[in-house]
Amino acid sequence: MLPQRSAVQFILTKVLACYLAVTGFVLCVFITWSYQQYQENRQHVVQQLRSSVETVIEQTPDNNDQLLASLTLGTQFFSRDFASVESFALLDEDGSIVFSWPNQAQLDATDSSLFQLLAIQNSSFTLALAFPKWPLYQVVINNLPTAMGILLLQFVLLLAVLAVVIKRGVRSGFEGFMRELSLVCLERPTPLQAHSFLGQFGEYRQILDGINRVILSLAKSREEFSNINKSLESHIKAKTAALEERNQELVDLNQQLSVIANTDALTQVYNRTRFDVLFLEYVMLARRRVTPLSLLLVDLDDFKKVNDRFGHQIGDLVLKHAAQVIQKEVGEEGVVARWGGEEFAVLLPYFDLLSAERKAESLRAVLAEAHFEEQSIQVTTSIGVAQLSSIETGPELLKRADDALYDAKGSGRNRVIIAYVEENHAQLDSDSLMEGEFIEVFDVEPVPIQDEPKASQKHSS
């Protein structure tokens, strides 16, 4: 198990170590450079001072007073060049002090072991130089601005090193951590593994343990939610199935109610109520599209005799089977409805009067040839035919078809009567009539031909 350390302690330790290492390196470089500068400066001062003294002695070989005056004046002008020299003196051949700098008291206070004796060429004089006992201290003091600049550069380098360490260490560790976290599968969760570098820090370990606990908790919650979701799905499916079954029952019931409401219970064709609605719709459709619309009113002849002879139950069966024959003959070309009693209405969209007459004749012939029930009962029909004209309404069409049916029954039954519309009436100028005069128009019905019971008669209204 890796030892757990504080990330803060680690960072501070590394920063301090880097700082001390860089500081030590910089100080070593600075001390070495300062010492070299000091030695070079010392040699330069020695050579300059010896050269200056030799020049002064050559200019005043026998005049000591003038020699002292020249040395005093020279040291005043070049005192800054002697900053690294603690004191110096010019000795004669007897060892007596001819000249001292900066003064006699400073010269006496200087340790004699620090003096360096230099012979003056072409002269009996000797130059004694004394340099400071701790030269490096003086060098550091003199080069303090340079040292501060170097320390500032050291701080910048330290920050750069820290930035590199953080980017390469911490960032790479957390990038790997985030990449591993993105690959976590909650269906089969596996704990995240510690990074080889960051795993030694306690804070990282605590964060990693917390994240692993969250992952396990999420996985557990996901499993619980999955179980709840499955339970809800099964419950919803059961409820949906029950609702669909109930809805289907309602649909079937609604269809049954619709059939009951719109269908005649005995004949299983449309009843009068449904026919009235469809009739108005087809009338409006024919008006809007300017298409033909014809109507057949069919009545079973002498049906009361069937009821009286065979009973009402047999009569109902005959009525039911007759409706089936009519429905089969009309098919998808029209609408069949029970008009009332033994009467049926057949609505023929897109049929003109000639086509409707043919359909009526075909229907009359089929019913006349049919044999109903075990008793082979035969019934004939009377049919009134009318086509919707452009100048009449739906009720007027019904009235003309009903009149035609009445004429068919009055003309001997078992026949088709066509109700024509008289559209070419003479136009009378009412303005030419005198006051009090009026016009009376009489409609004369033709006398039916009795000796042709099955022939079609045409009626003008």
CA 262, 266, 267, 272 torsion-angle sign: negative
DSSP string, 220-278: HHHHHHHHHHHHHHHHHHHHHHHHHHHHHHHHHHHHHHHHHHHB-TTT-SB-HHHHHHH
Joined tokens for residue 246? 């109930």
What CA–CA distances, in Å, run from 363 to 71, 224, 226, 299?
162, 73, 69, 12
CA distance 145 to 142: 8
Cβ atoms within 10 Å, residue 177 = 19
Instruction: Show the 3-state SS of 296-329.
Output: EEEEECCHHHHHHHHCHHHHHHHHHHHHHHHHHH
Q: In angstroms, rounded to a whole number, what is the distance separating the alpha carbons of residues 381 and 383?
A: 6
Three-state SS letters, 353-404: HHHHHHHHHHHHHHHHHCCECCCCECCCEEEEEEECCCCCCHHHHHHHHHHH
Long-range contacts of range 190-199, CB-CB < 8 Å, 24 or more positions apart?
A: 191/215, 191/216, 194/2, 197/169, 197/172, 197/173, 198/169, 198/170, 198/173, 198/174, 199/2
Instruction: Look up residue 214 and give its two tokens.
Output: 């969250």
CA–CA distance, 412 with 180 (Å, rounded to integer): 102
- Residue carrying the six token digits 């960051």: 198
Q: Under a CB-based contact definition with an 8 Å cutoff, are residues 383 and 414 in contact?
A: no
342 is an active site residue: yes
Rounded to 5 degrees, what are φ and ψ at 211? -65, -40
Per-residue exposure over 287-325, b if at least 16 CB sit within 10 Å of its own CB, e if not: eeeeebbbbbbbbbbebeebbeebeeebbebbbebbbee
Measured CA to CA, the distance from residue 86 to residue 130 in angstroms comes to 6
Q: Which residue in the block uniquely carries the two structure tokens 């049916």?
A: 405
Which of these is catalytic: 40, 187, 333, 342? 342
Report the alpha-carbon distance of residue 363 to residue 329 in Å, rounded. 7
Spatial contact of 293 and 286, defined as CB atoms under 8 Å apart: yes
Active site residues: 342
